[in-house]
Amino acid sequence: MQNVRMVVNMKKVIKTIRYMIFNKQNGTRIESINASLKASYGYNVGIAYNTFISEDVKIGDYSYVNSNSYIENCEIGKFCSISSGVYISPFEHNYHNKTTHPFLYNSFYGFITESPKLQRKKVIIGNDVLISLNAIIKEGIVIGDGAVIGAGAVVTKDVAPYEIVGGVPAKHLKFRFDSVDISKLRSDKFWEWEREKIIKNVDYLMNKIEKIK
């Protein structure tokens, strides 16, 4: 038993070193060994401890995911803030079949000889999106730039840019800004600015000044 523990611990150490090398080479901050290195990570992406990222995920520059989240089958834009306990595109059981059990799709159970390749619709998340604690985003959902998903929300339909939604199922609460300001923000697209321009316009982004420098 002690030898088994030693082997497991050694594997963890080796995997941790691999992640340290990956972070140094790619400018990322991946702390979870459950995050696939085959996924696509932009610059300064942060993945906190014990978060699962599948290899079919793409995450844009400066976005981060906090601990104990589960992210698969999705594309995430730049500057997104994803909290702890968030589930994005978890596998959904088909209740239209005569059984909801996954043995119909997984050869592991021995009822079928080969697991079929399931066609799943990706979740598409825009830029500068905030997804709060314990939210669930269902398969195929599109979330617009600047949107906010409230804590504990279950998102079952698309979310418009700069819309705030919450509840189970998630419903429209309000928009972050009026239509004129939203139009300007969508035109500005600060997430596409060069780093130097963002630094110059921190006060603009914090609403301390009204014009972009």
> So which residues are the catalytic ones?
93
> What Å distances lie between residue 32 and 6, 8, 12, 54, CA to CA?
20, 16, 11, 12
Cis peptide before 169, with omega less than 30 degrees from 0? yes
CB neighbour list of residue 94: distance below 8 Å, 6 or more residues apart:
100
Distance CA 23, CA 44 (A): 9
- Is residue 50 within 8 A of residue 68, CB to CB? The reply is yes
Task: Provide the 3-class DSSP secondary structure of residue 192.
Answer: helix
Q: For residue 47, what are its two tokens?
A: 């993945």
Distance CA 151, CA 200 (A): 32
Residue 118's H or E segment, with its range, is none
